[in-house]
Amino acid sequence: MPELPDITVYCESLERLLAGATLKRLQVQNAFVLRSFDPPVAALAGKRLTHTERIGKRIVLGFEEDLFAVVHLMIAGRLKWVPDGGKGATNKATLARFEFDSGTLLLTEAGSKRRASIHVVRGRGALAAHDPGGVDPLACDVDEFVQRVLRENHTLKRTLTDPHLFSGIGNAYSDEILHAARLSPLMLSQKLSREEVVRLHAATQEVMSIWLSRLRREAAETSGGMPEKVTAFRPEMAVHGKFKQPCPECGTLVARIVYSENECNYCPRCQTGGKLLADRALSRLLKDSWPKSIDD
């Protein structure tokens, strides 16, 4: 699922491409994608895009007259910019077309699970209903971070990916953050020492900043200025998606905990003092303290 760095770069690219552009219409190609009915999509027709913003893992397109289109890509949703109207570009994977005067923004979703969504809302109040309330991990200082981490007693994996605590951290970047912080994904948040929470805060900001710059650079190098290779699995990652590959720090093979449709990757030397954390049975045991398969 695209997380904070990917979503931020999408928002920045869209704002560069589309600020001031007028939406001719939003054409919904697949009825499932639209999850709101009032205001109708027709309300957006003829409105100028004023700005974009990120709410958690959602991309918000802001239009004049206080109208917003809230796009949640979930796992397989992607945005594609087609400068020339892009009639030919529409196919089975196209869920919606934002047709602007300067080109068309396609919302696509690979596979057959229709999870990506669009909500059209009017007013800041209605928009706020889409915000789970997590703090921006890049903007929050160490005190606020400590407060959030200690609020409930859950595994660190769950704490970092809880959208009510932190905004925009999912399965991939939580693996990377915990590896950078040398902390076990199963450690309970309220068991952390002050030194460990501070280390987790630093690792969170470091991992997010590094990836944000990396993805910004990549987007700038694409012809359309929009992110093209949006994926949770990248060669530069240390442990996420690297099961049985050597940890870049110590060479130990990366291990995993499998749960529902996901897995958590970690280095058993850097993060758990040589302990393997087992498997499905364990994640069943953890139940409430473990992230669900699909966050927010």
Distance from CA of residue 248 to its chain's centroid? 24
Helices and strands of the chain, counted as H and E runs: 7, 10
Binding Zn ion by CB under 5 A: which of 19, 45, 128, 250? 250
Q: Which residues make Cβ contacts (< 8 Å) with residue 239, sequence separation at least 6?
A: 175, 176, 179, 247, 254, 265, 266, 267
How many residues bind Zn ion, per CB under 5 A?
7
CB nearer to Zn ion: pick between 55 and 255: 255
276 near Zn ion, judged by CB under 5 A: no
Dmax (CA) for the chain in angstroms is 60
Residue 174 Cβ vs Zn ion, minimum distance, rounded to whole Å: 17
* Residue showing the smallest CB distance to Zn ion in the complex: 247
CB nearer to Zn ion: pick between 93 and 238: 238
- For residues 30 and 48, give the distance between their C-alpha atoms in angstroms, rounded to a whole number: 24
Binding Zn ion by CB under 5 A: which of 103, 249, 258, 286? 249
279 near Zn ion, judged by CB under 5 A: no
For the chain, state the CA radius of gyration. Answer: 20
CB nearer to Zn ion: pick between 206 and 249: 249
267 near Zn ion, judged by CB under 5 A: yes
Could you tell me which of 179, 134, 129, 193 has the C-alpha nearest to residue 159?
A: 134
Q: Are 56 and 139 in contact (CB under 8 A)?
A: no
CB nearer to Zn ion: pick between 133 and 246: 246
Residue 197 Cβ vs Zn ion, minimum distance, rounded to whole Å: 21
Residue 178 Cβ vs Zn ion, minimum distance, rounded to whole Å: 12
CB nearer to Zn ion: pick between 88 and 251: 251
Q: What stretches of 186-279 show up as alpha helix (H) in DSSP?
A: 194-221
CB nearer to Zn ion: pick between 51 and 269: 269
Backbone phi, psi, residue 220, to 5°: -65, -25
Q: Are 63 and 98 in contact (CB under 8 A)?
A: no
Residue 76 Cβ vs Zn ion, minimum distance, rounded to whole Å: 30
Residue 242 Cβ vs Zn ion, minimum distance, rounded to whole Å: 11
CB nearer to Zn ion: pick between 74 and 255: 255
- For residues 114 and 20, give the distance between their C-alpha atoms in angstroms, rounded to a whole number: 31
- For residues 226 and 45, give the distance between their C-alpha atoms in angstroms, rounded to a whole number: 23
- For residues 71 and 250, give the distance between their C-alpha atoms in angstroms, rounded to a whole number: 40
Residue 182 Cβ vs Zn ion, minimum distance, rounded to whole Å: 9
200 near Zn ion, judged by CB under 5 A: no
121 near Zn ion, judged by CB under 5 A: no
269 near Zn ion, judged by CB under 5 A: yes
CB nearer to Zn ion: pick between 111 and 235: 235
Q: Which residues make Cβ contacts (< 8 Å) with residue 283, sequence separation at least 6?
A: 257, 258, 259, 260, 290
Binding mask 219-248 for Zn ion (x = CB under 5 A): ----------------------------x-
Residue 181 Cβ vs Zn ion, minimum distance, rounded to whole Å: 12
The binding site for Zn ion (CB under 5 A) comprises 247, 249-250, 252, 267, 269-270
